[in-house]
């Protein structure tokens, strides 16, 4: 499965919406992977392994504890550009990848592109069209909530 969508952050046609800077959006996305408990309902705890820095890139491994299962993944941060999360397959779910890419087509407009990719053939995973559609909608709503949460953090000055 591959699912991709854009969430608009800044829109010059909506003057009542305070624009966020690329740096504020970046810090919010970093917070989503460094402290995901506040972004992901049902997540009980996140532990982060040793970090490695290579120029503008930071990598680390995480374990996400959802109570009844854990997800082990590897996070790559490319400063002010994109974040990639590669999840290992579990007993009940395939390996997957999430990429969050900041896009700024001009100085007044800012987007985040979310790309979800899961290993395996839909037939092997037993996914039907309804399940696949529900998963895509859940991803989209979660990502819209992420931007809302980032905006709320920025309004409180937590991303400056």
Domains and CATH numbers, the chain: 2-155 (3.30.530.20)
What number is the average pLDDT over the span 50-73? 96
The CA distance from 29 to 6, in Å, is: 14
Give the pLDDT score at 30. 98
Regarding predicted confidence, which is higher, 73 or 91? 73
Regarding predicted confidence, which is higher, 125 or 42? 42
Positive or negative, the CA dihedral 130, 133, 137, 139 is positive
Is the pLDDT at 117 greater than 90? The verdict is yes
| Contact yes or no for 25/102 (Cβ under 8 A) | yes
Q: For residue 104, how many other CB atoms are within 10 A of its CB?
A: 14
Regarding predicted confidence, which is higher, 108 or 77? 77
Q: Which residues pair with 156 in a beta bridge?
A: none
Regarding predicted confidence, which is higher, 153 or 121? 153
Give the pLDDT score at 15. 82
CB neighbours of 77 closer than 8 A, spacing ≥ 6?
A: 30, 33, 57, 58, 59, 83
What number is the average pLDDT over the span 19-32? 97
Work out the angle at residue 131's Cα, subtended by the Cα atoms of residues 74 and 44, and round it to the nearest 5 degrees. 40
Give the pLDDT score at 124. 45
Tokens 């895509």, residue located: 136
- Confidence bin at 121 (pLDDT 50/70/90): low
Mean pLDDT of the chain: 93
What number is the average pLDDT over the span 91-113? 94
Global pTM value: 0.92
Among the residue ranges 28-32, 111-115, 119-123, the one predicted with the least confidence is 119-123
The CA distance from 43 to 36, in Å, is: 8
At 36, phi and psi to the nearest 5?
-70, -10
């Amino acid at each position: 499965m591959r699912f991709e969508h854009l969430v608009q952050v800044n829109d010059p046609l909506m003057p009542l919406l305070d624009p966020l800077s690329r740096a504020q959006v970046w810090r919010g996305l970093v917070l989503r992977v460094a402290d995901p408990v506040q972004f992901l309902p049902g997540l009980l705890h996140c532990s982060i392994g040793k970090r490695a820095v290579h120029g503008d890139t930071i990598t680390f491994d995480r374990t996400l504890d959802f109570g009844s299962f854990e997800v082990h993944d590897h996070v790559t941060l490319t400063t002010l550009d994109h974040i990639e999360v590669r999840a290992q397959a579990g007993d009940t779910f395939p390996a997957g990848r999430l990429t969050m890419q900041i896009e700024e087509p001009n100085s007044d407009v800012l987007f985040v592109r979310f790309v979800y990719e899961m290993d395996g053939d839909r037939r092997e995973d037993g996914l039907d069209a309804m399940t696949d559609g529900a998963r895509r909608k859940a991803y989209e709503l979660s990502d819209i909530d992420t931007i809302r949460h980032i905006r709320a953090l920025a309004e409180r000055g937590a991303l400056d």
